[in-house]
Amino acid sequence: MQVMVIGAGLAGSEAAWQLAQRGICVRLCEMKPEKKIPAHESEYFAELCCSNSLRSDQLENAVGLLKEELRRLDSLILRCADATRVPAGGALAVDRRGFAKMVTEAVCSHPNIEVVPGEVTEIPEGEVLIATGPLTSDAFAEKLLDLLGRENTTLNFFDAAAPLISFESVDMDSAYFASRYDKGTPDYINCPMEKDEYLAFWKALTEAEEAPVHGFEDGQVFEGCMPVEVMARRGEDTLRYGPLKPRGLKDPKTGRESYAVVQLRKDNADGSIYNLVGFQTHLKWPEQKRVFTMIPALKNAQFLRYGVMHRNTYLDSPRLLDRYYRLKTQPRLAFAGQMTGVEGYVESCASGFLAGVEMARRLKGQPPLDFPRETAIGALGLYVSNESVGAFQPMNINFGIIPPLDHRVKGKRNKNAELSARSLQIIDQMREEVLT
């Protein structure tokens, strides 16, 4: 029994690992390092092109629940993320390069996985799991269109990545380490701005020149990864209620909250690289330097990588895929990752996990594992395959797609904690069968 997995991003690496762990021989095809696209920087698998954060690690948050489900079910991606985490308060952030290197080494050393470098331009015969991601090459995308039909099949939105700067270039006389409301360890560098500084920065941001992106309009961006300049154009105070929110951050020099605060999060274990939290952008590179150095603590910032924007392509999955991410018309073909319409690193991993597990079970003559809607893994797969969904849009995991409790609980955090406890009880009951 052999499966070809195309693409070694988060979803493809996870799917290949789950198949191999169940005794299935895997040919993992990855076009890097022979061919890269602009968003790629390293030669490693599972490269994190946007943020280095996998978002909240708290069980009162749906993505925190999804992480814990995957941990308990032996996810390779979560194991590597936990092993390479960097301080980020209540979030799970990783050393970007160390994480990708660890995933690559694990996948390449597995006895049941053969890595085949080079671009795939045809859809192979046999069992195939396609995880080419939202940045699928033009040649392969054309073949998918031929297979799936060109009308009402593929959709796209635009996604952006934040700049990276060196720690040594941050003016720490103007900045300070702290976590919001002093919760957890002081893992973020906070760059305060007074009203006049903020207003000058906001005006410059709204007027800055953007890099040309074919077909881009503000309405085509994914809300969860919106360019900071697009957000700024929505109003003078939009940023102050979003990524520049000062609430819960008291400047130790003044003893009060500033008018706005830009936060920097550690991007590698050494703490030599930081990213600008919430500063996804597609401004021209000279404009990024001009505008972002108006932030007082970043007046001498050394940019190690400027923000970039790219097109994300995803399938009209409710019309095409089942709850296991298999193509309804050809179950030998499965899809995984952001191209299915799941949005986010952990969600991509979860789709690869489920697609890989189910393909292995089908090949071994075992019945499918139906993760119920009460679990985050199950809820995500059922959302993506829900034919009643009209205008399909990419979706982060959230408690809104998980059935409510059968009793009232006071307080949102308490309610979410009970939803997570219910889910994890189900996962623990399923665990032995999943891992067998």
Residue stretches of the annotated binding site for FAD:
7-12
With the C-alpha atoms ordered 47, 51, 52, 53, is the resulting torsion angle positive or negative?
Answer: negative
Cα–Cα dist 161/48, whole Å: 10
313: amino acid identity, one letter: T
Residue-by-residue DSSP string for 215-275 = T--GGGB-GGG--HHHHHTT-TTTGGGTTT--TT-EETTTTEE-SEEEEEEE-STTS-EEE
Q: Which of 59, 63, 51 is nearest to 88 (CA)?
A: 51
Residue-by-residue DSSP string for 359-406 = HHHHHTTPPP----TTSHHHHHHHHHT-TT-SS---B---GGGSPPPS
Cα–Cα dist 84/99, whole Å: 6
Please check whether residue 289 is in contact with residue 303, taking contact to mean a CB–CB distance below 8 angstroms: yes
CA angle 98, 57, 262 (to 5 degrees): 80
Cα–Cα dist 336/351, whole Å: 5
Binding residues: 7-12
Please check whether residue 110 is in contact with residue 20, taking contact to mean a CB–CB distance below 8 angstroms: yes
Token reading at 7: 């693409």
**Length of the chain in residues, anyone?**
436
Q: Which of 138, 213, 243, 351 is nearest to 359 (CA)?
A: 351
131: amino acid identity, one letter: A
Token reading at 386: 């829900």
Please check whether residue 16 is in contact with residue 116, taking contact to mean a CB–CB distance below 8 angstroms: no
Token reading at 158: 């635009």
Q: What's the N-to-C CA distance of the chain in angstroms?
A: 18
What phi-psi label fits residue 262: left (phi over 0), alpha (psi between -120 and 50 degrees) or beta? beta
